[in-house]
Homo-oligomer: A and B are copies of this chain.
Amino acid sequence: MRYFKLVLLFLFITTTSIAQKLMGFTDAMAVKQVDWEKQFDGQLSAKNQDTWMQFLTSHPHHIGSPQGKINADYMAGLFKSWGFQTELAEYNVLFPTPKTRLLELLGSKPYKAKLEESILKEDKTSGQKAEQLPSYNAYSADGDVTAELVFVNRGIPADYDELERMGVSVKGKIVIAKYGGSWRGIKPKVAAEHGAIGCIIYSDPEDDGYAQGDVYPEGAFRPKDGVQRGSVMDMPVYPGDPLTPGVGATKDAKRLNRNEAITLMKIPVLPISYEDALPLLQSLKGPVVPAAWRGGLPITYHAGPSLDKVHLKLQFNWDIKTLYNVIAKLPGSELPDEWIIRGNHHDGWVNGAADPISGMVAEMDEARAIGELVKKGFKLKRTLVYCAWDGEEQGLLGSTEWAEDHQEELRKKAVAYVNTDGNSRGFIGAAGSHTLEPFFNEIANDVIDPQTGVSIKERKYASVFVSADKAGRTKLMGNKNIKLGALGAGSDWSGFLKFLGIASLNLGFGGEGSGGEYHSIYDSYDHFVKFKDPGFQYGVALSKTAGRVMMRMANAEVLPIDVNSMYKTVNEYVTELKTLLETSRTETEQENKMIQDKLYDLAKDPKKGIQTPKTKEAVPFLNFSGLENAMMQLKTSTEEFQKLYGNSTQLSADKQKELNEILFKVERSLINEKGLPRRSWYKHQIYAPGYYTGYGVKTLPGIREAIEERNWKEAQENIEIVSRTMEAYTSQVQQAINLLIKKPF
């Protein structure tokens, strides 16, 4: 008995004596912060998330819909009740909706596409037909075209190279492309560049249907008539309202004419189900496609063209609609002009339960819990700004317009932007500015996975390790650091990160809630609670994770930013680019030699009309020395800074404020006001959505895409631009170092 007490005493001592270290906090402050975090966890409620999701998804809630406005008001009311200063921020944006949708196969076996998703008795909102947006691609052109059909696989540039080898042209044709392999807007864009006059995009069951698993409602996957709606705005050029690039789409904003808006698609484009795609694909003649192009339909996939023609007629109402962002602030007590911004969109394509309400209710619960803590005396140094964005689905409209509208203020005040979107059962996913990587890892260590009882970091490591190949496993062995992904253009961080240079983070769980509901009428409450996150355990885990990010960032004495992590990551990108250039050179040499040696001619089947590829210009050597020198200086500076960072909490309050301002503005030095080639809106020099991949991020995009496009002059120019960007970053870091060296504590 006595022994037992001693053990307890010992445990007590060891527990309290290992006070948790938090980046940017003194030990004393860290103890308090961790204690508040425990109370925060206790406040979170799966039941709230469930209730709110039921309300918010009860009717279709796309931009301009009655339920959209109801939801905005509902959330604004809640934020207010939790102690937030709340407003609706309205913008007026171009939002086309379909007037006519007609797709038919003409000829001997005519077929008229159904373009309609079935009502299911197992899904109670699937029957809200009058309120649903029909299946369509927003920002498609109006058009009435009739032509032969050609199958273009994913519809990316490489597919057209392959079609050329097969001797198939899309000029004057309508193309049909599979979803996947690129952001959907790339497909009609590249098709139009190759002379196609219309574009159909369908969900192949191999990627998004019965091949993946049992279909809804029996299983989670896309049924035969399920359609993926989605925007085909040319977002890699600029996101947001097509008529007001760079400025907020306020009532009085100067607007472009529609024909000046270069992000509108130039040809008509329509998404369809695999049931509707089947007769179209069956009509194709011409060569059998390469194995990698095949889908899961029970047919021989041919490239086309079809003998029979396809008729596609699309007309839209080109309305200006009002969108409603909810902006809710909890002002900081010490540094009210340093903002930590949190956002998730609230609009859905239809009832949008997983996308976006699963993330939205986690954000709301997090806001409510912080509000409760504040009522109990929790002090926030910095201001928290909680946002619910409208119009994300059509092209990040709400967040982009708000960021553009408040650009001056945000440049001054925004410390970081933390985004979430769809969420489901599984493993933490995180991407963002690499200065935030050690900070995020600290948090991932502190949040417990609801299914296994280990930290979400441990579980993520297990998942990454098990799915890695042998080489990957050897590399991962013992290194549990979660590497942040680079951010492309998938959600609302674009305006903050890419346009304004605000350090951003995107968070979400997933991997065990896969399904085929995406952008269909089946992304419903019924589907969500059956397949995505039954019991909202991962909704709560997301609140815990993002809530810690917000609270620690709000209260850190010195902002938890690690500039050396940024250096290390960018240095990897530089190495990648040098390798890319080398590989491109050796491959070009080899390929040209193969053509000259007639190996393609000899290897091909002379009975098939296969074209030999054309020789390509040799790949020159580029001068990386400026960039390499800049990276060397950056390495020295960032390493020195991180050595000194540990002492930074001992700085005087004034010096700390000065240091913090350098730290959160250091991301701004990655911005080049001229922007990237051919898309000046994208100003960040490290991350951009791929011009020809869309969602898919391109790192060091100015250099990388020039190399990929074999534009050597532009590649060299962009190497210089990035070098200067790195020098500017180094000089910011140097200022921070000077502050710390000259410290009067």
A residues sitting closer than 8 Å to B (CB atoms) are 205, 210-215, 219, 221, 288, 294, 296-301, 425-426, 451-452, 454, 458-459, 461-463, 465-467, 470, 473-474, 477, 512, 587, 590, 594, 598-603, 605-607
Q: Given that A298-B296, A452-B602, A603-B459 are contacting pairs, would A288 and B465 also be in contact in the complex, using a CB cutoff of 8 Å?
A: no
Chain A to chain B contacts (Cβ below 8 Å), 16 pairs? A211-B294, A212-B300, A213-B288, A214-B300, A296-B298, A452-B602, A459-B602, A462-B598, A462-B599, A462-B600, A462-B603, A463-B602, A466-B599, A466-B603, A470-B590, A512-B607
The CA-CA distance from A439 to B600 in the complex, in Å, is 27
Contact between A602 and B458, CB atoms less than 8 A apart: yes
Residue of chain B at shortest CB distance from A299: B210
With a cutoff of 8 Å between Cβ atoms, the chain B residues found around residue A470 in the complex are 587, 590
The CA-CA distance from A733 to B716 in the complex, in Å, is 62
Cβ of A389 to closest chain B Cβ, rounded Å: 31
Contact between A473 and B590, CB atoms less than 8 A apart: yes
Contact between A300 and B210, CB atoms less than 8 A apart: yes
Residue of chain B at shortest CB distance from A214: B300
The CA-CA distance from A211 to B211 in the complex, in Å, is 14
Contact between A298 and B462, CB atoms less than 8 A apart: no
The CA-CA distance from A426 to B605 in the complex, in Å, is 8
Contact between A606 and B452, CB atoms less than 8 A apart: yes
Beyond contacts A213-B300, A215-B300, A462-B603: 18 other A-B pairs, Cβ-Cβ < 8 A, are: A211-B294, A211-B300, A214-B288, A214-B300, A296-B296, A297-B298, A452-B601, A452-B602, A459-B602, A462-B602, A463-B603, A465-B599, A466-B594, A466-B600, A470-B590, A473-B590, A474-B590, A512-B605
Interface centre among A211, A212, A215, A587 (most CB of B within 10 A): A211
With a cutoff of 8 Å between Cβ atoms, the chain B residues found around residue A606 in the complex are 451-452
With a cutoff of 8 Å between Cβ atoms, the chain B residues found around residue A602 in the complex are 452, 454, 458-459, 462-463
The 10 closest A-B pairs by CB, nearest first: A462-B602, A466-B603, A462-B603, A462-B599, A298-B298, A463-B603, A512-B605, A210-B300, A213-B288, A214-B300
With a cutoff of 8 Å between Cβ atoms, the chain B residues found around residue A599 in the complex are 461-462, 465-466
With a cutoff of 8 Å between Cβ atoms, the chain B residues found around residue A465 in the complex are 594, 599, 603
The CA-CA distance from A458 to B624 in the complex, in Å, is 41
Residue of chain B at shortest CB distance from A511: B605
Interface centre among A215, A477, A602 (most CB of B within 10 A): A602
Residue of chain B at shortest CB distance from A465: B599
With a cutoff of 8 Å between Cβ atoms, the chain B residues found around residue A459 in the complex are 602-603
Residue of chain B at shortest CB distance from A605: B512
The CA-CA distance from A451 to B462 in the complex, in Å, is 55
Cβ of A79 to closest chain B Cβ, rounded Å: 34
Cβ of A632 to closest chain B Cβ, rounded Å: 31
Cβ of A436 to closest chain B Cβ, rounded Å: 25
With a cutoff of 8 Å between Cβ atoms, the chain B residues found around residue A288 in the complex are 213-214
Cβ of A466 to closest chain B Cβ, rounded Å: 4
With a cutoff of 8 Å between Cβ atoms, the chain B residues found around residue A221 in the complex are 300
Q: Given that A219-B300, A298-B298, A598-B462 are contacting pairs, would A467 and B214 also be in contact in the complex, using a CB cutoff of 8 Å?
A: no
With a cutoff of 8 Å between Cβ atoms, the chain B residues found around residue A300 in the complex are 210-215, 219, 221
With a cutoff of 8 Å between Cβ atoms, the chain B residues found around residue A462 in the complex are 598-603
With a cutoff of 8 Å between Cβ atoms, the chain B residues found around residue A425 in the complex are 605, 607
Cβ of A138 to closest chain B Cβ, rounded Å: 30
Q: Of B219, B458, B603, which is within 8 A of A467 by CB? A: B603
With a cutoff of 8 Å between Cβ atoms, the chain B residues found around residue A598 in the complex are 462
The CA-CA distance from A359 to B210 in the complex, in Å, is 43
The CA-CA distance from A615 to B288 in the complex, in Å, is 46
The CA-CA distance from A301 to B458 in the complex, in Å, is 32
Cβ of A268 to closest chain B Cβ, rounded Å: 29
Residue of chain B at shortest CB distance from A583: B470
Cβ of A461 to closest chain B Cβ, rounded Å: 8
Residue of chain B at shortest CB distance from A206: B294
Cβ of A509 to closest chain B Cβ, rounded Å: 13
The CA-CA distance from A210 to B298 in the complex, in Å, is 7
Cβ of A408 to closest chain B Cβ, rounded Å: 47
With a cutoff of 8 Å between Cβ atoms, the chain B residues found around residue A298 in the complex are 205, 210, 296-298
Residue of chain B at shortest CB distance from A287: B213
Cβ of A585 to closest chain B Cβ, rounded Å: 13
The CA-CA distance from A607 to B450 in the complex, in Å, is 13
With a cutoff of 8 Å between Cβ atoms, the chain B residues found around residue A473 in the complex are 590
With a cutoff of 8 Å between Cβ atoms, the chain B residues found around residue A214 in the complex are 288, 300
With a cutoff of 8 Å between Cβ atoms, the chain B residues found around residue A594 in the complex are 465-466
With a cutoff of 8 Å between Cβ atoms, the chain B residues found around residue A299 in the complex are 210
The CA-CA distance from A742 to B460 in the complex, in Å, is 73
Cβ of A416 to closest chain B Cβ, rounded Å: 30
The CA-CA distance from A731 to B119 in the complex, in Å, is 81
Cβ of A275 to closest chain B Cβ, rounded Å: 11
The CA-CA distance from A452 to B605 in the complex, in Å, is 10
Cβ of A616 to closest chain B Cβ, rounded Å: 16
Residue of chain B at shortest CB distance from A512: B605
The CA-CA distance from A459 to B602 in the complex, in Å, is 6
With a cutoff of 8 Å between Cβ atoms, the chain B residues found around residue A601 in the complex are 452, 462
With a cutoff of 8 Å between Cβ atoms, the chain B residues found around residue A590 in the complex are 470, 473-474, 477
Cβ of A612 to closest chain B Cβ, rounded Å: 10
Cβ of A29 to closest chain B Cβ, rounded Å: 33
The CA-CA distance from A451 to B301 in the complex, in Å, is 28
With a cutoff of 8 Å between Cβ atoms, the chain B residues found around residue A296 in the complex are 296, 298
The CA-CA distance from A300 to B466 in the complex, in Å, is 25
With a cutoff of 8 Å between Cβ atoms, the chain B residues found around residue A213 in the complex are 288, 300
The CA-CA distance from A602 to B594 in the complex, in Å, is 48
The CA-CA distance from A211 to B205 in the complex, in Å, is 14
With a cutoff of 8 Å between Cβ atoms, the chain B residues found around residue A219 in the complex are 300
Residue of chain B at shortest CB distance from A451: B606
The CA-CA distance from A733 to B306 in the complex, in Å, is 65
Residue of chain B at shortest CB distance from A454: B602
Residue of chain B at shortest CB distance from A301: B211
Residue of chain B at shortest CB distance from A427: B603
The CA-CA distance from A146 to B512 in the complex, in Å, is 36
The CA-CA distance from A512 to B473 in the complex, in Å, is 40
Cβ of A248 to closest chain B Cβ, rounded Å: 44
Cβ of A162 to closest chain B Cβ, rounded Å: 14
The CA-CA distance from A599 to B600 in the complex, in Å, is 47
Residue of chain B at shortest CB distance from A274: B298
The CA-CA distance from A587 to B470 in the complex, in Å, is 8
The CA-CA distance from A522 to B211 in the complex, in Å, is 30
The CA-CA distance from A193 to B603 in the complex, in Å, is 44
Cβ of A295 to closest chain B Cβ, rounded Å: 9
Cβ of A404 to closest chain B Cβ, rounded Å: 42
